[in-house]
Amino acid sequence: MERNSMRIPLALYTGDQIVEKLALLDSGAEGNFISRITARKLRLPLTKLEKRVKVLNVDGTLNTSAYVTHTAQITFSIGDQKMTEDLMVSGLGGEQFILGMPWLRHYNPQINWQTGELHIPPRRKLNIKRFRGVLDQTPAEVLIRAKTSVSQTLEHKQQTEEKKPIKELIPDFLFDYKRQFEKHASERFPESRPYDHAIDLKPGVETLNCKVYPLSPIEQQLQNEFLTDNLRKRYIRPSKSPMASPFFFVSKKEKGAFRPCQDYRELNKATIKNTYPLPLVSDLIDKLKGAKYFTKLDLRNGYNNIRIKDGDQWKAAFKTNKGLFEPMVMFFGLSNSPAMFQSFMDDIFSDYIEEGWIVIYMDDILIFSSDLETHRKRTIQVLERLRLHNLFLKPEKCKFNVTEIDFLGMIIRPGYIGMDPVKLAGIRDWKPPMTVRGVRSFLGFRNFYRKFIGRFSEIAKPLNELTKKDKKFEWTTTCQTAFDALKEKFLSEPVFIMPDTEKPFLIECDASKWATGAVLRQQGTDGEWHPCGYISHSLTPTERNYEIYDRELFSIVRALTAWRHYLMGGKHPITILSNHKNLMFFKDAHKLNRRQARWSLFLSQFDLQLIHTPGTKMTQSDALSRRPDHVDNNENDNDNVVMLPDKFFLRAMDIKLHNDLIENLKGETLYDDAMRTILKEGPPPIKSALEDWTT
């Protein structure tokens, strides 16, 4: 049984194969269940029930499946006991199987909560009563509890909150700004501003035309509603433009929901790009140091708050089977929409951004403070600014005065950031991809969270190889190992602390044959050395030919480059743990090549100390001071240079060790881990990058 959950392994018999699965034990579930997706993938025969059964989530809301109409019979083993069960087929979110009270009552397993072990008494009869036999006594409504039903609960909660009056959704101190939360008021036609969206075409662009995309009956109905609603709000108008882009729908997360879209791909190719930068999420997070209270605001209507510049509307015209229309406001799909919207938000809140208590990413606004009174004042300031610019909010998506918040896919609380478990709920069921497109989809998902994944580039290397154009797709055991390792790391949901430049930093560096990597650490209030971030870089073919001492030093240079904004000019020396034996080469005078000379010049900017004894800890030391000058002008300047002076290396006998640091690093596995990769092929670096967060 999993130590941190109630999941037990099953050996599932399917035809002539045995498949390993996990089942959630749940005493709150009034039945035994299999997910509809799992039943379909296993191609299990289904038996229709004479009477359908309503399924409720743990909070009393209706499950997404609404009713159970079929059961599926499975045969499986737990340990050495083989059993057969009829399971109700239902939506289970991220779970595949749930063994509820009927199974628990029948087998009465003995659970050791300390060791995570489960034992089924051997004397119990195994010819269990079939599920269909007890269905007559099952209530018409069955309660189901599953970890990933959280997303269903949240969706229901949000829908419920949308029906609540605004005064129940916003705190009392903001009631004077009630209008800024009203949906009806937000549907005004936005005024012209200096930020009106211009569509500048490249010289010589010819007019674009397109065919009408076919629509299903439900899409046809949604299109008609979209046109009627947006004509009423004056967001669109009939057009006689010589340009036309297609109109279609894409599926949303909610079952049966669709989002209208204009296919502006051809127009975007002909558009001069706006290069205004979107903020790096890592830079936004850096600003949250010291914050204890958070308020998240979600802007209504997004891009629709920006007008299309007069005279440019015709360029974005879109064609439907009801005619040709052109937008009067900015819509999703125009290539410059993100840049224009971000510049708009940055400009109207520029003074607050400069003061450092608000971060904005597109239509997501996060206010943060160290005390509640200041926080409320700042929230009022932001609401007043929104009123000034005639902007509105979705109250059901706002959070006020909280100490933990989900923002941009992360869970943030004072001093810490972590993965959003709801967004990761589906990773457990992610099957091995069988196509290049499937691999890219998986890699795209993990790229968003690569900041949290150690040994990232090294682990993902076999999967990245599969995406190369000249590579034949072959899913090997090496690929499967990498895939499983990444999934395991996703599900571990590690916690980071926010870097604090007032405290000492510790960097662990690694270099392998294929990559370099590092982890930046600081000591948290709990005394543990928590990661602040990972970086990793694959080595180019040229870099792989570096001598081992060069690769080791290269890993340090890369780490210092990545975290330069934290480390340069700090109050404390930067402690670096690395394989000093490979770096001992630089303790003696050598003729430096130009690459080494550049590194020496770069290293001289930092106050560094290398620790090479596994038990040793942070102390102060002199900085690396020797630097070669005029590297490019006279190659003889690099003759007989000591890049890393002897005093740079800390010896155990020279250091007074802090007791807490000794205890924390006694169990370090850095040097052991450096002797093997996740694929058991060599030393792994540690990975994932703050600077790569948005890539």
What domains can be seen in the chain, in order of their start residue? 7-147 (2.40.70.10), 172-413 (3.10.10.10), 428-491 (no CATH), 498-673 (3.10.20.370)
pLDDT at 285: 76
Find the mean pLDDT for residues 127-132: 32
CA distance 497 to 503: 12
pLDDT at residue 203 greater than cutoff 90: yes
pLDDT at residue 694 greater than cutoff 60: no
Summarised one tens digit per residue, pLDDT across range 238-269 is 999 999 999 988 766 555 667 788 888 889 88
For the chain, report the end-to-end CA distance as a whole number of angstroms: 37
| Six-digit token string for 120 | 């089924």
* Residue 88 and residue 68 in contact, taking contact as beta carbons nearer than 8 Å: yes
Q: With cut-offs at 50, 70 and 90, classify the pLDDT of residue 636.
A: very low
> Three-state DSSP class for 361?
strand
Specify the amino acid at residue 264: Y
pLDDT at residue 303 greater than cutoff 80: yes
- Label each residue of 260-296 as H, E or C: EEECCHHHHHCECCCCCCCCCHHHHHHCCCCCCEEEE
Cβ neighbours for 412, distance < 8 A, ≥ 6 positions apart: 285, 288, 294, 404, 405, 406
Sign of the alpha-carbon torsion through 596, 575, 530, 356: negative
pLDDT at 669: 38
* Residue 260 and residue 236 in contact, taking contact as beta carbons nearer than 8 Å: no
Q: Which burial class, exposed, middle or buried, applies to 471 when counting CB atoms under 10 A from its CB (0-12, 13-18, 19+)?
A: exposed
Lowest mean pLDDT among 125-139, 395-409, 421-435: 125-139
> Which is higher by pLDDT, 381 or 212?
381
Average pLDDT in the chain: 75
Lowest mean pLDDT among 49-53, 352-356, 480-484, 548-552: 49-53
Eight-state DSSP code of residue 618: -
3-state percent breakdown (helix, strand, coil) of the chain, nearest 5: 35, 25, 40
pLDDT at 161: 46
> Three-state DSSP class for 392?
coil
Strands, DSSP E only, in 31-181? Answer: 33-35, 46-56, 62-78, 81-90, 97-99, 110-112, 117-119, 141-143
Summarised one tens digit per residue, pLDDT across range 38-91 is 888 888 888 888 777 777 654 445 555 557 888 889 888 887 788 888 898 888
Cβ neighbours for 483, distance < 8 A, ≥ 6 positions apart: 432, 433, 442, 463
Find the mean pLDDT for residues 365-371: 95
User: In 3D, which of 89, 86, 63, 79 has the Cα closest to residue 148?
Assistant: 63
* Residue 363 and residue 344 in contact, taking contact as beta carbons nearer than 8 Å: no
Cβ neighbours for 163, distance < 8 A, ≥ 6 positions apart: none
String of DSSP letters for 330-361 = --TT-TTHHHHHHHHHHHHTHHHHHHTSEEEE
| Six-digit token string for 472 | 């034949």
Cβ neighbours for 101, distance < 8 A, ≥ 6 positions apart: 27, 29, 30, 31
Q: Which burial class, exposed, middle or buried, applies to 152 when counting CB atoms under 10 A from its CB (0-12, 13-18, 19+)?
A: buried
Lowest mean pLDDT among 391-405, 499-513, 620-634, 665-679: 620-634
Find the mean pLDDT for residues 377-394: 96
Q: With cut-offs at 50, 70 and 90, classify the pLDDT of residue 689.
A: very low
Find the mean pLDDT for residues 332-340: 89
Sign of the alpha-carbon torsion through 326, 332, 338, 343: positive
- Residues forming beta bridges with residue 523, ordered by sequence position: 529
Most confident region among 8-17, 20-29, 392-401, 637-646 by mean pLDDT: 392-401
Across the beta sheet with 495-497, the strand order is 405-407, 410-413, 416-419, 495-497
> Which is higher by pLDDT, 626 or 231?
231
pLDDT at residue 144 greater than cutoff 60: no
Eight-state DSSP code of residue 303: G
User: Distance of alpha carbon 360 from its chain centroid, rounded?
Assistant: 18
In this structure, the strands spanning 97-99 and 17-25 are parallel
> Which is higher by pLDDT, 585 or 412?
412
pLDDT at 104: 85
Lowest mean pLDDT among 430-434, 547-551, 609-613: 609-613
pLDDT at 17: 75
Residue with tokens 């030393």: 683
Residue with tokens 């959950």: 5
> Which is higher by pLDDT, 368 or 464?
368
* Residue 296 and residue 420 in contact, taking contact as beta carbons nearer than 8 Å: no
pLDDT at 508: 86
Find the mean pLDDT for residues 172-177: 92
Eight-state DSSP code of residue 624: P
pLDDT at 182: 93
